[in-house]
Amino acid sequence: MKWGKQMTLFTVGGSAYVALELLYRGRSHISMFGAGGLCFLLIGALRKKRLPALAKLAGGAAIITGVELVTGLLCNRDFSVWDYRGQPGNFLGQICPLFAAVWIPVGAAGMTLHGLTEALLDRKMEYPAIGGKVR
């Protein structure tokens, strides 16, 4: 995959995740842009695999939870962007079962957005209402 396309996908994913955080919590952190961009690239790679839908959903949630854990251990412990210590089953306050479950629909939405973005970047997106493909 071309470098420019990868960077565009990373930027879309990072921006989408920061937007979700702003809507949900009213604040975000630059580390969330990086985590969101990385998740978007990894989920996009998973989207292309020939796997059952449930495996993709579980895999997407696992990817997001894993990136959240690594980001949390590297950044969050110093900056306190989020804190799951009050949640049952949390691990070091960085991940918890509740948010691992929340990441299932977020991952599904991410796969959909990745597919749409990639189709647009590859100029394969069709717009039936205006009669044709983007060229």
The total domain count for the chain is 1
pLDDT tens readout for residues 4-63: 899 999 999 999 999 999 999 899 999 999 999 999 999 999 999 999 999 999 999 999
How do residues 61-73 score in pLDDT, each as one tens digit? 999 999 999 999 9
3-class SS string, 55-123: HHHHHHHHHHHHHHHHHHHHHHHHHCCCCCCCCCCCECCCECHHHHHHHHHHHHHHHHHHHHHHHHHCC
Give the tens place of pLDDT for each residue, 47-103.
999 999 999 999 999 999 999 999 999 988 777 788 899 999 999 999 999 999 999
Which domain range does residue 24 map to?
A: 3-133
